[in-house]
């Protein structure tokens, strides 16, 4: 940050304001996504953050860095949005096979890897416990959504971004003791949900092993081979479908679900590979009888472990397709 740009911005120079804030836009948007679980909401809250910063620039005293000041605004905007949210729990669906368990509805959207490419490399603070990209994996973001909002914010600010407890206390207008208490509770609840060492056993992104697993899975999907799909799963694999609370664990339960779903559709999917939350994913398209056209139906993300698939996350509908650069229809 240059004092000259700050001085110009304070006089109403929008170009100077963009010069100050553009380096932080993408990381702030990702921060909002981690807390909210929604790409669309994160985009909206980023714009709110920048507008609030523009209007309050005279109040920035320079006691903290501009980056920390922007994170303060973004975090509090996210907490206000969660507080004001009136999302109602979904009803369970009676047309699905009996699930292994009924979890909590999670309003979670997939995050396109393309939005991570080229993100400025900002080293987390020395107290961070997670790498930046690890902290966007689906298991990680899902775990965050189970935490109360302030615990969620503190865990991200401290363990992902590495802000000091004093900085977080200032951001949230509370005491360091309160921040440390929130962090202890958040870590205990969060780490009980995060799969142990699962990410460490995942093949490297875009490695030959990952490509081979993804290719074999894609072939089974397009061939309608449910047995083949299930054979690629770990024994304790999970299938989840946010925001629906139905969760299926194990090969038998997932086989029953996939067989019933394919029977309802009547035809196998056509799929287009993509990446979501640093993991391999597919846009799934449902062919229409007699037209040769397939329409966008859902996005499926895979969590890999070794040479197998440890989790499948199903995002119904075509709402996410434009963000992934996926067409609405295949000819």
Judgement on whether residues 12 and 45 belong to the same structural domain of the protein = yes
Rounded mean pLDDT, 162-175: 96
Judgement on whether residues 173 and 217 belong to the same structural domain of the protein = no
Estimate to the nearest angstrom the gap between the alpha carbon of 321 and the chain centroid.
15
Give percent above pLDDT 90 in the chain. 80
pLDDT attached to residue 104 = 86
pLDDT attached to residue 267 = 94
Give percent above pLDDT 70 in the chain. 96
Q: Which of 58, 56, 50, 59 is nearest to 77 (CA)?
A: 50
pLDDT at 327 over 60: yes
Q: Which 3-state string (H, E, C) describes 256-279?
A: HHHHHHHHHHCCCCEEEEEEECCE
Domain that holds residue 276: 208-330
- Mind listing the pLDDT tens digit for each residue in 26-49? 999 999 999 999 999 999 999 999
- Mind listing the pLDDT tens digit for each residue in 45-71? 999 999 999 999 998 988 889 999 999
Judgement on whether residues 124 and 241 belong to the same structural domain of the protein = no
Q: Which of 193, 216, 234 is the last residue of a domain?
A: 193
Q: Which of 167, 193, 219 is the last residue of a domain?
A: 193
Judgement on whether residues 44 and 150 belong to the same structural domain of the protein = yes
Judgement on whether residues 262 and 116 belong to the same structural domain of the protein = no
Q: How many CA atoms lie within 13 A of 205 on its CB side?
A: 13
The residues with which 314 forms a beta bridge, in sequence order, are: 300
Dihedral angle at the C-alpha atoms of 49, 136, 66, 118, nearest 10 degrees?
-100
- Mind listing the pLDDT tens digit for each residue in 91-126? 667 789 999 999 888 989 999 999 998 777 777 877
pLDDT attached to residue 306 = 93
Q: What secondary structure letter does DSSP report for 286? A: E
pLDDT attached to residue 199 = 53
Rounded mean pLDDT, 81-94: 74
Rounded mean pLDDT, 145-159: 97
pLDDT confidence tier of residue 196, bands split at 50, 70 and 90: low
The residues with which 287 forms a beta bridge, in sequence order, are: 294
Evaluate whether 190 touches 147 at the Cβ level (below 8 Å).
Answer: yes
pLDDT attached to residue 289 = 86
CA 293, CA 329: separation in Å to the nearest integer? 7
pLDDT confidence tier of residue 200, bands split at 50, 70 and 90: low
Judgement on whether residues 213 and 188 belong to the same structural domain of the protein = no
Helix/strand/coil for 249: strand
Q: What secondary structure letter does DSSP report for 112? A: B
- Mind listing the pLDDT tens digit for each residue in 227-250? 999 999 999 999 999 999 999 999
Does residue 34 lie within any of the structural domains? yes
Q: Which of 89, 66, 86, 77 is nearest to 20 (CA)?
A: 66
pLDDT confidence tier of residue 180, bands split at 50, 70 and 90: very high
């Amino acid at each position: 940050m240059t004092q000259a740009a700050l001085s110009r911005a304070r006089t109403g120079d929008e170009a100077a304001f963009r010069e100050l804030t553009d380096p932080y836009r993408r990381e702030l948007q990702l921060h909002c996504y981690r807390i909210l679980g929604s790409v669309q909401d994160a985009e909206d809250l980023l714009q709110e953050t920048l507008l609030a910063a523009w209007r309050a620039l005279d109040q920035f005293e320079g006691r903290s860095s501009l980056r920390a000041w922007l994170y303060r605004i973004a975090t509090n905007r996210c907490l206000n949005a969660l507080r004001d949210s009136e999302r109602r729990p979904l009803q369970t669906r009676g047309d699905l096979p009996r699930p292994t368990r009924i979890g909590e509805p999670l309003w979670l959207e997939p995050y396109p890897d393309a939005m991570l490419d080229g993100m400025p490399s900002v080293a987390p603070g020395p107290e961070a416990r997670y790498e930046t990209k690890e902290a966007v994996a689906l298991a990680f973001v899902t775990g965050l959504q189970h935490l109360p909002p302030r615990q969620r914010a503190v865990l991200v600010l401290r363990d992902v971004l590495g802000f000091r407890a004093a900085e977080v206390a200032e951001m949230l207008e509370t005491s360091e003791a309160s921040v440390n208490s929130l962090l202890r509770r958040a870590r205990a609840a969060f780490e009980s949900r995060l799969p142990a060492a699962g990410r460490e056993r995942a093949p490297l992104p875009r490695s030959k092993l990952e490509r081979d697993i993804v290719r074999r899975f894609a072939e089974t999907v397009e061939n309608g081979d449910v047995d083949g799909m299930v054979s690629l799963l770990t024994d304790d694999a999970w299938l989840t479908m946010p925001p629906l609370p139905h969760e299926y664990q194990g090969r038998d339960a997932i086989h029953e679900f996939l067989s019933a779903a394919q029977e309802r559709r009547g035809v196998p999917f056509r799929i287009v590979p993509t990446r979501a939350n640093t993991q391999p994913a597919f846009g799934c398209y449902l062919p229409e009888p007699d037209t040769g056209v397939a329409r966008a139906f859902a996005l499926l993300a895979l969590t890999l472990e070794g040479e197998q698939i440890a989790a499948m996350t199903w995002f119904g509908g075509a709402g996410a397709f434009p963000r992934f650069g996926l067409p609405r229809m295949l000819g």
